[in-house]
Amino acid sequence: MRTYLSAPSGLSGVIVAAFLLAVVPAVAAQDGSDHWCELHGEGKDGLCGRALLAEAYFEQLGRLPEAAGEATEGVEDTDITHCLLDIEVNPVTEIVSGSNTLSITSRIDGLTAITLDLRDNMTVSNVTIGGASMGFTRPGHQVTITLDRSYNTGESFQVKIDYSGTPQNLSWGSFDFGQHAGTAVVASLSEPWYAHTWWPCKEDIHDKFTMDTWVTVPNWMIVASNGALQGTDTLTGSRKRFRWRESYPISVYLVSVAMTNYTKWTEWYNHAGGSMPVEFYIYPEELASVQPLLVDVVTMIETLSAPTTFGEYPFINEKYGIAQFEWCCGMEHQTITSQGSFPERRTVHELAHSWWGNNLTCKSWHDIWLNEGFARYAEALWYERRPGGSYAAYLQHLQEYRPSSNGQYGTVYRYDISTPDLIFSSTYSYNKGAWVLHMLRHVLGDTTFFNVLASYRQMYTGGAADTDEFAAVVAAVSGRPIDWFFNQWVYANGAPYYRFGWETEQIGTQHWARVCVEQYQTSYPNFKMPIDITVTGGGTPVTHVVEQQADTQWYLLPASGAVTRVQFDKDTWILRGAGTAVSYIEGPPKLLATSPAPGTVFDPAPEITAIELWFSEPISYTAGDFSVTGSVSGPQAFSVNWDAASYKITLSLAAPLAADQVWTVQVAGTLTSSAGAKALDGELVSGFPSGDGVPGGNAVFSFTLGQSPPPCSDPFADADGDGDVDQADFGAFQRCLTGDGDPQETFDGVGCRCFDHDDDWDVDEIELSLMLACMSGPGIMADEACDDQWTLLADEFDAGTSAGNWTVFASSADYTADFAFDYSTRGIPSAPNSTGGTTIGLHLTVNNNDSTPETAAVSLFPSGRTFSGNYTLAFDMWMNYAGTGNGVGTTEMMNAGINAADTQVIWPSNPGNGVFMAVTGDGDDTIDYRCDVGSTLLAPSSGAYAAGTQSTARDNTDPYYQSLFPSPPFETQGSPGKQWVRVEIAQNAGTVTWKLNGTPIVNLTGAAYTAGNVMLGYMDLFSSISVPPEDTFIIYDNVTVTASAP
């Protein structure tokens, strides 16, 4: 039976009211339908949500959040690392007695007291540290303990609390003494904050710890709990003790005990590393009816553990289990789900929490959708990916749990968490949360979406994350801004309502569907979403994805024949209120094609006497709506001719266009359609037809006659090259600023092309915002992204100050990183890209400097940097080794990469996010060339290696490498050691390439990691030490990261 939190009363009401007066300017009166604290329009960090949290804390724990009674420490001041809970449960007297021994580390200096949570009806008989009794008090539902001394940051101690009592059974059964078929059954369900009803603990969702749970019961009982069973002990008095150990970090609300006369059986999940038990604890009288309902559990684990779904089951070294209990539903206790019923969707839902909720826990109850929405979504994935599953079954399940599109106060992010029912909203935390993931899958595409899940899990495994942190992973992996999606679907409420109309059109030989889409909800702002529009023409349906966020937008979609049907979001990728078909509304004209085509380079230059422009419909225009401008010759005269049959404008030039320059054609947004008088939708966003769906926008394109324009001056913003970006530079920029929709200005394709960062062949407000951000004032050095258009990072190590610009991580203390090393002292010539013959570089060694042989690695990252988009990491590299190589301790590897999370040393023993390339200097390994994507070493069969897919594609003996590094000059044929080699690792449009001396080594398509830091490293995968050790090292010099725009 569920119990509910009451409204504030008595002392709690006074204190919470005082808290509200302090932090909330005003609250709405209670009217019986809405909660007493109004949430509409409040941001995710709003005061109202915190006030309601305070109410819940005080009602349940007797304290406000982070105000621990008489103790001086806050909830974040201590870190519980382990608990030994040793209790006896008497099912007759309903008394729990025993102790909890907590291992605690201080996170502050001067910690003298700690506060734990325990319901005030439970008796504490003694508290000890090291066997000595400590003083304690009982403020509210707590135990405040005076420590034996003051503890500073990082110091640890153990506290043992002896206690007993009859647990209060709160919420959905926090500790329930029940019966099945006349037999006692005892089980816990602590979520969200009721663990303190039955054991002394710290009710903090994201302070995780390991756990030993020892439970003594009558010997006819079997106890199921978290982790792996370490053993059972026969005790006097017909008692038995079960000793369970959870070795993976666990959150307090996931700690579970369940006990009765279970019938237990075990199945096995077979995985790459062996087999894991799958244990079932079921009432004996229900065994025959329940066992068939659980027949697919192992298959469920296999399905969700697939690398392209969630990845391996997180608690693979322990178990997965299901224990029956008396509550109606299910609870995802870590490694031992509790279930009162066994429908298929519930069973897979609770299993999915192993990944989302248990291994990776939401950081606060506001973010519960990261647990429950993910698990609800996993139900649908099971129906899609199980044996015999389908997308139709996936979609049907989501439709069955489709939330209402109404609900003025309903958000996925739970602002009001004052009661369990408000936290665990089936409509919003579960169902809409699942739909958020469903929609995100479509926004990102399948590959990126599941890469996001893998990266999210990898980054926060064993820990906790909140919504913003999940959104940050989405942005990093996808390489694009995503806050708009979370703001409208997670933090805000409502849903879009759509109307759409269409008509068929034939222009020349090409068939088209004219489509208009309108958003018409009145209670919520417009939603930005990609929408599937499926056009059937000539009997063939083709789905186009359009982006819509304006009130009304128009699209012109090609078809293979006369259009007979248009379907709006036919696969239901959007949680929408409606998608109603209406009559088509006339829209703006679009540009369909041009001659010459945009971006064409004619060399040698032909004679061009006319420009041709094809439109989507009849237009109204004047000659002033068009311009043709040369980067050298300036504006050109022409006459305008209209061909009504083909919707074509011809600009007949007064003279042929002159060569050796860029010519720019502009069609102004003032041009309109003849029928509806709507302005041209002209922006050339992604080819033809033009436009972003909204009337008004110039069409601007350029082509080159003769030689291509000279490269952009370097730097792009510092036009006068004086090292700053100031008014003088802005003056040069200003003449290029065309604005949006102003046909009188021109675009100089040579001088101004360098300022055009979005490649739309004009310089407008986008480039203006970049220029203004770069202005530093006279004489002040500009930010490097502004000072140099192409170079985002450069370090020649010559100045002797580089050490302060890099962050170093190492696997052991046996390494060196010398940022100002004169490599000429080792007889090494100046690097090929050094200026003036300088010989200062970065010198790295590992496993060279002490008497203990070990495998080792060192990784270096530019401090505080993140790179994304299209960019290249490049550097000069010299790998040295003792003797002639192929000897003891001589085989070490360059290890460099991009898109890395710069928080650790990265090598095969400690893989990280990113793409990493490694090569041996002397070729004495079975894998001399390697590419690691995260924790995965790519095999030759992956097709990523330029050498091929044969077994030798990573070995220096392969002919590909033998010809690349011949001997001489290279000492070991096929290996790059003892010579300068130029290394490039580049990312371009989702493809990562690795080149040595300009020759491809790896071509990796569909990169999983698209943003992060760059890394330079050195590693020794063999423990032997070379002789002499100082001869084995690596030199890096002239490191750059370059990109096409800042």
pLDDT tens digits, one per residue of 425-465: 888 999 999 999 999 999 999 999 999 999 999 999 999 99
Full DSSP string of 30-98: P-SSS-SS--TT--TT-HHHHHHHHHHHHHHHSS-TT--TT-S--TTSEEEEEEEEEEEEETTTTEEEE
Which of the pair, 493 or 791, is modelled with greater confidence? 493
Task: Give the percent of the chain with pLDDT over 90.
Answer: 63
Written as six digits, the tokens of 492 are 């805000």
Maximal C-alpha separation, the chain: 111
Residues 6+ apart with CB under 8 A from 227: 211, 213, 244, 245, 246, 247, 248, 318, 319, 334, 335
Cα–Cα distance, 698 to 695 (Å, whole number): 10
Q: What pLDDT does residue 419 have? A: 87
Q: Which residue has the higher pLDDT, 146 or 37?
A: 146
Q: Contact at 8 Å (CB) between 361 and 208? A: yes
Q: What confidence tens digit (pLDDT) does each residue in 482-491 have?
A: 999 999 999 9
Looking at residue 792, what is its pLDDT?
74
Neighbours of 592 (CB within 10 A): 21
Residues 363/253, Cβ–Cβ less than 8 Å:
no
Q: How far is 960 from 656, CA to CA, in rounded Å?
A: 51
Q: Is the pLDDT of residue 51 over 70?
A: no
SS3 per residue for 410-425: CCCCCCCCCCHHHHCC
> 875: which strand partners?
983
778-833 residue pLDDT tens: 555 445 445 444 567 888 998 888 888 899 998 888 889 999 999 999 999 999 88
pTM for this structure? 0.66
Q: What is the mean pLDDT of residues 453-479?
A: 94
pLDDT at 71 over 60: no
Helices (H) and strands (E) in the chain, counts: 16, 56
Most confident among 46-55, 575-584, 665-674 (mean pLDDT): 665-674
CB contact at 8 A, 705 and 658: yes
pLDDT, position 647: 95
Distances from the Cα of 758 to the Cα of 201, 249, 530, 686, 755, angstroms: 56, 47, 21, 11, 9
SS3 829: coil
Q: Provide the pLDDT for residue 578.
A: 80
| Mean per-residue pLDDT of the chain | 85
Q: What is the pLDDT of residue 523?
A: 80
Evaluate if residue 662 carries a pLDDT over 80. yes
Predicted pLDDT of residue 183: 97
pLDDT at residue number 749:
40
pLDDT at position 56 over 70:
no
Q: Is the pLDDT of residue 716 over 70?
A: no
Cα–Cα distance, 225 to 88 (Å, whole number): 14
Helix axes 433-444, 467-478, angle to 10 degrees: 10
The C-alpha angle with vertex 23 and arms to 22 and 25, in degrees rounded to 5, equals 95
**R_g (Cα) of the chain, nearest Å:** 34
Range in 59-63, 982-986, 1037-1041 the model is least confident about:
59-63
Question: What is the three-state SS of 887-925?
Answer: CCCCCCEEEEEEEECCCCCCECCECCCCEEEEEECCCCC
Rounded alpha-carbon distances, angstroms, from residue 341 to 281, 322, 328, 346, 764: 13, 11, 6, 8, 62
pLDDT at 19 over 70: no
- Output the pLDDT for position 801: 82
What average pLDDT does this structure show over 151-170? 96
Read off the pLDDT of residues 832-887 as tens digits, 9 standing for 90 and up: 888 888 999 999 999 887 667 778 899 999 988 888 777 889 999 999 988 887 76
Q: Mean of the pLDDT values across residues 320-330?
A: 94
Q: What pLDDT sits at residue 872?
A: 87
Which two tokens mark 516?
């208009």
The pLDDT of 537-559, averaged and rounded, is 93
Query: Coil, strand or helix: which one is 215?
Result: strand
Q: Residue 126 pLDDT > 90, yes or no?
A: yes
Q: What is the pLDDT of residue 241?
A: 98
> Is the model's pLDDT at 303 over the cut of 60?
yes
Domain 365-491 has CATH 1.10.390.10: yes
User: Over the range 872-901, which residues count as b (16 or more CB within 10 Å of their CB) and which as e?
Assistant: bbbbbbbbbbbbebebebbbbbbbbbbbbb
Per-residue pLDDT averaged across 409-421, rounded?
87
Report whether 854 contacts 812 (CB < 8 A): yes
Q: Can you tell me the mean pLDDT for 938-951?
A: 90
pLDDT at 762: 66
User: To which residue do tokens 């540290």 refer?
Assistant: 129
Q: Does pLDDT of 5 surpass 60?
A: no
In tens, the pLDDT along 202-234 reads 999 989 999 999 999 999 999 999 999 999 999
Segment among 369-378, 623-632, 905-914 with least mean pLDDT: 905-914
- Predicted confidence at residue 460, as pLDDT, reads 95
The yes-or-no verdict on residue 34 having pLDDT over 60 is no
pLDDT tens digits, one per residue of 732-758: 677 677 654 333 334 444 456 566 655
pLDDT: which is higher, 345 or 903: 345
* Residue 624: pLDDT over 60: yes
Q: pLDDT at position 793, please?
A: 83
The pLDDT assigned to 752 comes to 66
Query: Where do the structural domains in the chain lie, given as residue ranges?
Result: 10-61, 365-491, 497-581, 710-789, 792-1043
| Tens of pLDDT, residues 352-403 | 999 999 999 999 999 999 999 999 999 999 999 999 999 999 999 999 999 8
Which distant-in-sequence residues (6+ apart) come within 8 Å of 801 by Cβ? none
Phi-psi region of 694 (alpha: psi -120 to 50; beta: other; left: phi over 0): beta
pLDDT computed for residue 127 by the predictor: 98
Residues of the chain with pLDDT > 70, as a percent, come to 84
Cα–Cα distance between 839 and 833 in angstroms, integer? Answer: 11
Superfamily (CATH) of domain 497-581? Aminopeptidase N, middle-beta domain (2.60.40.1840)
What single-letter DSSP state applies at residue 508?
T
792-1043 homologous superfamily: Exo-inulinase; domain 1 (2.60.120.560)
Q: Classify the C-alpha dihedral 326-329-331-332 as positive or negative.
A: positive
Q: Which amino acid, residue 951?
A: S
Position 103: which residue type?
S
